[in-house]
Amino acid sequence: MTTPAPLFHCDHTLCELRTGLELVQDEVAAALAAHGYEDGAMFAIRLALEEAIVNGFRHGNRSDPTKCVFFRATIDSVSAEFEIEDQGPGFDPRMIPDPTEDDNLEIPSGRGVMLIKAYMTDVEYVRPGNKLRMRYAKLRA
């Protein structure tokens, strides 16, 4: 009988996009692998993290180099939970135009949130909208 991997938890303050992303993606990938997540799950989580952290820096903090993004993750063999918080004023996700509507289809931006919602099991924006909580359930019913 193998011993289950211990609960993974991390808490980072990311102050630069590229180095922050690399740090987070590497740590999360290692934790997911240790808990037996399949390639498809790792692909989905990697993409959602990329979109969420880039949005935090670019749209939340408006690329202000004095602002950071706070990242927390908890991963076990059942689910992977993430919290990404920026230092911006927040936003109302209901105000983002649906990029799949015919009229919006040719607009080149606005697909990040959509991809996050498609790939993660639960997605929640905490008011005022500068904190994103998302969860990937490894064992789906």
Q: Is the CB of 90 or the CB of 99 nearer to another protein?
A: 99
At residue 135's C-alpha, the angle toward residues 60 and 37, to 5°, is 125
Residue 131 CB-density burial (10 A; 0-12 exposed, 13-18 middle, 19+ buried): middle
Q: Given the rule CB under 8 A, which residues bind another protein?
A: 17-18, 21, 40, 43, 46-47, 50-51, 54, 58, 99-100, 105-106, 108-112, 114-115, 118
Q: Is the CB of 127 or the CB of 140 nearer to another protein?
A: 140
Shortest distance in whole angstroms from residue 29 CB to another protein = 12
Q: Is the CB of 4 or the CB of 63 nearer to another protein?
A: 63
Shortest distance in whole angstroms from residue 108 CB to another protein = 3
Evaluate whether 76 touches 7 at the Cβ level (below 8 Å).
yes
CA distances from 83 to 3, 31, 110, 117 (A): 28, 16, 21, 14
Joined together, the tokens standing for residue 119 give 């790939």
Shortest distance in whole angstroms from residue 56 CB to another protein = 13
